[in-house]
């Protein structure tokens, strides 16, 4: 038996076996606290200044490496550089060495704490939040003082990187050829590490409980990116099992990739579009690598979230235009901002919302902040000249809201026309169906739009009234709940009756167990993470429309989730025993 | 003229950009102010900040439409004020 098995969220498939490398992130709690004698004051002051200089130098190096297209990262780093140069910060820390006779580490800790407390009284949340970044940033100085020059850069052999979390600034320095896998204590499916790992195609598990206290440097571990486990000190038997799994997965992967260019159709010739969900510009290359038919969901929040100021119209035009031209003639579906003010961190009014998930977000937020909304719409429209862009609105709850959104869109089109600016007047407009209310009136909504995209992640949570990240109720997250299956079928049928296309862009679309049911319902296109496209294509090409329709008929007759799960599991597992050992499923594992 | 005597020069400007003196403009102001030897202050109401300190500027938490007094003392005070005023006028390069 292994010494210990830790559990987290699997975010990138694969098995990695190797030595752990713990990235020390300059934790303040490690700082030695000592009083010093008068004759050491100059020595400690010099140590502090040198630590600042080295931290500054390393940031400036990182800054140089940032490619031009990542101007938002560059802006964040510029600010960080100015903070490290800040005379106030130096004075605040030096004062503790000179006047209080504390050692450099303790002085830094006290100086930073003083500046933090000077920010406490600020009412505006945006400004108050900035000071939290100060502690993260001055960790670099602390690292220098503690002699942890173990920046990511100093990794020389291939390792499994263990960290609390990694920011874009951290990973800029990463020599990815040295990293076999990631495990982090923080994060979720869409955190920076998760996306990076999927892009690099290396295993990753995030949100691992007790990670930092359980794994020590250089320890022998296994990262299981299928089941989301970190196995510490595996025994012989476990090691053999994991090694076998690793090799068979790699062989399977090669086979899948070899056949990625074959058409996405069933054995009896039913063609399904396989699109990609992406949220970073860089991911677009993966869409082409994995032979996706286009992008079915471009999440646009990233340009707003990880920066200190709102993106300008020009910036967004360039981003959307570049994406569209890389993908051309493939389709690019751009979803408008799907977040609330809390995520934007631009000094937006701080709302006391008891339930932000049911609050001012997505189109509701956009309708309240029409300047932000219009800037984005103008950018999407102006980029749409290429002719392959579609526009999609998230979280539509009813016809009134849809009409309001469409009226802002029409207004924006008129303004552009009046300014003599070109755009695609025929740009297809769709909505995400992710609220039960939209499901119930899908037939009405279908008359106003060109396509539907079913967002199952939220639809499941809103329909069943659960938060899937809440461990007390996450077992209720059941994609095959009869209510969900009926909802999806209702939306597909309503869309097709109105002559519009229906796609699906939730995780269900990339679940091999759900695939035959969706095909049986005649969903026109599936949008999934780019890496999953060749896998799903492989399974799709082994199915027939007839067996999918038959499974759908049988499953729609069942009364309960456990019956549907059992039926699907048995039927599909029998058909694809080899493939399914490498796929995690969102279906609840039955208790043995 | 006695060079030890320096006049204090001040100028009133308004914050024109939507998000106020958020992190990026604060860093830019500190960067620009550092180019001058003059002591430069930003005053908002009863609060004042050292224009060469990004943390100080942020602690003003100055939002859009706030009036700010730029004040400088030292040999290149006039140049510094002129330079920073232009910087404020064009909304820190943000629309």
Residue of A nearest to B28 (CA): A79
A interface with B, Cβ–Cβ < 8 A, is: 75, 78-79, 81-83, 85-89, 115, 118-119, 122-124, 126-127, 130-131, 134, 308-310, 312-313, 346-347, 371
The whole-number pLDDT of residue A282 equals 78
Residues paired with residue A321 on neighbouring β-strands, in sequence order: none
CA–CA distances in Å: residue A423 to residues A296, A310, A406, A418, A426: 20, 23, 16, 12, 9
CA distance B48 to A239: 63
**Contact list, B59 vs chain A (CB under 8 Å):** 118-119, 122, 127
**Contact list, B94 vs chain A (CB under 8 Å):** 309, 312
The whole-number pLDDT of residue A395 equals 97
Interface contact B55-A88, CB threshold 8 A: yes
Interface probe for B, chosen from A127, A138, A370 (most Cβ of B below 10 Å), is: A127
Interface probe for A, chosen from B20, B22, B93 (most Cβ of A below 10 Å), is: B22
Beta strands of A367-466 (E only): which ranges?
389-393, 429-433, 451-454
Interface probe for B, chosen from A71, A79, A92, A308 (most Cβ of B below 10 Å), is: A79
CA distance A53 to A519: 60
CA distance A347 to A125: 7
Residue of A nearest to B95 (CA): A312
Residue among A366, A505, A514, A548 flagged as catalytic: A505
Interface contact A78-B24, CB threshold 8 A: yes
The whole-number pLDDT of residue A467 equals 84
End-to-end distance of chain A based on CA atoms, in angstroms? 21
Which residue in the set B22, B52, B55 is minimally distant from A309, CB to CB?
A: B22
- Give the pLDDT band of residue B4 (cuts 50, 70, 90): very low
The whole-number pLDDT of residue A350 equals 61
**Contact list, A59 vs chain B (CB under 8 Å):** none
Interface contact B53-A79, CB threshold 8 A: no
The whole-number pLDDT of residue A173 equals 63
pLDDT by 10s per residue, chain A, length 592:
888 999 998 888 899 999 998 886 555 555 678 889 998 999 999 999 999 999 899 888 888 877 766 666 677 788 889 999 999 999 999 999 999 999 999 899 889 888 888 887 777 767 776 776 777 778 788 888 887 655 565 677 889 999 888 876 566 666 778 899 999 998 777 677 887 888 788 999 999 999 988 998 889 999 999 889 999 999 999 999 999 999 999 998 888 889 999 999 999 999 999 999 998 787 898 899 999 999 999 999 888 875 557 889 999 999 999 999 999 999 999 999 998 876 675 556 667 788 888 899 999 999 999 999 999 999 999 999 989 999 999 999 999 999 999 999 999 999 999 999 999 999 999 999 999 999 999 999 999 999 999 999 899 999 999 887 676 887 888 999 999 999 999 999 999 999 999 999 988 998 899 999 999 999 999 999 888 899 999 999 999 999 999 999 999 999 999 999 999 989 998 898 888 877 767 775 543 3
Interface probe for B, chosen from A88, A306, A370 (most Cβ of B below 10 Å), is: A88
CA distance A313 to A392: 18
**Contact list, A78 vs chain B (CB under 8 Å):** 24, 27, 31
Residue B3 pLDDT > 50: no
Which residue in the set B17, B54, B59 is minimally distant from A83, CB to CB?
A: B54
SS3 for A522? coil
**Contact list, B50 vs chain A (CB under 8 Å):** 87-88
The whole-number pLDDT of residue A592 equals 31
Mean pLDDT, rounded, for B45-64:
88
Beta strands of A213-272 (E only): which ranges?
220-224, 229-232
Q: Find the helix or strand (DSSP H, E) in which A284 lies.
A: helix A284-289
* Catalytically annotated residues of B: 22
Q: Is the pTM of this model over 0.75?
A: no
The helices-and-strands tally (H runs, E runs) of chain B is 3, 4
**Contact list, A308 vs chain B (CB under 8 Å):** 19, 22-24
- What tens digit of pLDDT does each residue of B19-47 get? 778 888 888 899 999 999 999 999 988 88
Interface contact A79-B19, CB threshold 8 A: no
Tokens of A171: 């990973």
**Contact list, B23 vs chain A (CB under 8 Å):** 79, 130, 308
Vertex A552 angle, CA A292 and A467, to 5°: 70
Q: Of A576, A590, A588, A589, which Cα lies nearest the Cα of A256?
A: A576
SS3 for B69? strand
């Amino acid at each position: 038996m292994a010494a210990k098995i830790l559990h987290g969220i699997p975010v990138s498939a694969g098995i990695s076996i190797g030595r752990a490398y713990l990235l020390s992130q300059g934790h303040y709690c490690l700082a030695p606290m000592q009083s010093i004698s008068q004759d050491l004051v100059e020595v400690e002051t010099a140590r502090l200044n040198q630590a600042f200089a080295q931290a500054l130098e390393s940031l400036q190096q990182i800054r140089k490496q940032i490619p031009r297209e990542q101007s938002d990262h560059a802006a964040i780093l510029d600010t960080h550089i100015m903070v490290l140069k800040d005379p106030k910060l130096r004075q605040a820390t030096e004062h503790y060495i000179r006047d209080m006779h504390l050692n450099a580490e303790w002085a830094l800790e006290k100086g930073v704490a003083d500046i933090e407390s000077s920010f406490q009284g600020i009412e505006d949340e945006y400004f108050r939040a900035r000071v939290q970044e100060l502690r993260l940033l001055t960790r670099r100085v602390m690292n220098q003082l503690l002699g942890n020059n173990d920046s990511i850069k100093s990794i020389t052999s291939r390792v499994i990187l263990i960290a609390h979390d990694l920011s874009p600034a951290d990973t800029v320095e990463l020599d990815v050829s040295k990293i076999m896998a990631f495990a982090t204590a923080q994060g979720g499916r869409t955190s920076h590490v998760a996306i990076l790992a999927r892009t690099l195609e290396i295993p990753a598990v995030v949100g691992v409980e007790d990670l930092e206290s359980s794994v020590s440097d250089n320890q022998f571990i296994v990262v299981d990116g299928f089941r989301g486990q970190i196995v510490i000190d595996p025994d012989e038997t476990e090691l053999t099992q994991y090694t076998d799994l690793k090799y068979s997965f790699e062989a399977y992967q090669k086979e899948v990739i070899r056949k990625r260019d074959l058409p996405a159709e069933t054995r009896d010739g039913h063609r399904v579009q396989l699109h990609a969900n992406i949220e970073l510009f860089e991911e677009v290359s993966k869409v082409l690598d994995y032979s996706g038919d286009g992008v079915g969901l471009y999440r646009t929040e990233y340009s707003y979230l990880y920066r200190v100021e709102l993106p300008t119209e020009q910036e967004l035009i360039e981003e959307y235009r570049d994406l569209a031209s890389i993908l051309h003639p493939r389709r690019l579906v751009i979803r408008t901002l799907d977040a609330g003010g809390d995520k934007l961190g631009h000094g937006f009014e701080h709302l006391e919302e008891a339930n932000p998930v049911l609050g001012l977000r997505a189109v509701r937020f956009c309708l309240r902040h029409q300047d932000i909304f219009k800037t984005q719409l103008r950018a999407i429209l102006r980029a749409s000249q290429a002719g392959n862009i579609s526009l999609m609105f998230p979280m539509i709850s009813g016809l009134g809201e849809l009409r309001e959104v469409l009226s802002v869109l029409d207004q924006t089109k008129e303004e552009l026309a009046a300014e003599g600016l070109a755009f695609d007047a025929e740009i297809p407009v769709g909505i995400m169906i992710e609220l039960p209310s939209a499901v119930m009136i899908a037939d009405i909504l279908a008359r106003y739009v060109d396509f539907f995209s079913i967002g199952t992640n939220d639809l499941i949570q809103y329909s069943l009234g659960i938060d899937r990240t809440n461990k007390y109720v996450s077992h209720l997250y059941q994609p095959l709940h009869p209510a969900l299956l009926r909802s999806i079928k209702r939306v597909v049928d309503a869309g097709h009756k109105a002559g519009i296309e229906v796609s699906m862009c939730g995780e269900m679309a990339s679940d091999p167990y759900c695939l035959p049911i969706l095909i049986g319902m005649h969903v026109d296109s599936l949008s999934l993470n780019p890496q999953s496209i060749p896998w799903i294509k492989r399974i799709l090409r082994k199915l027939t429309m007839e067996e999918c329709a038959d499974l759908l008929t049988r499953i729609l007759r069942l009364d309960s989730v456990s019956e549907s799960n059992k039926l699907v599991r048995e039927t599909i597992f029998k058909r694809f025993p080899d493939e399914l050992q490498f796929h995690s499923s969102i279906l609840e594992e039955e208790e043995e | 003229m006695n060079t030890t005597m320096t006049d204090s020069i001040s100028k009133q400007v308004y914050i024109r950009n939507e998000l106020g003196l958020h992190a990026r403009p604060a860093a830019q102001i500190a960067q620009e102010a550092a180019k001058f030897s003059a002591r430069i202050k930003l005053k908002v109401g009863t609060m004042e900040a050292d224009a060469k300190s990004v943390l100080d500027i942020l602690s003003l938490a100055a939002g859009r439409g706030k009036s700010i007094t730029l004040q400088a003392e030292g040999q290149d005070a006039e140049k510094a004020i002129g330079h920073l005023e232009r910087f404020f006028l064009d909304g820190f390069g943000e629309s």
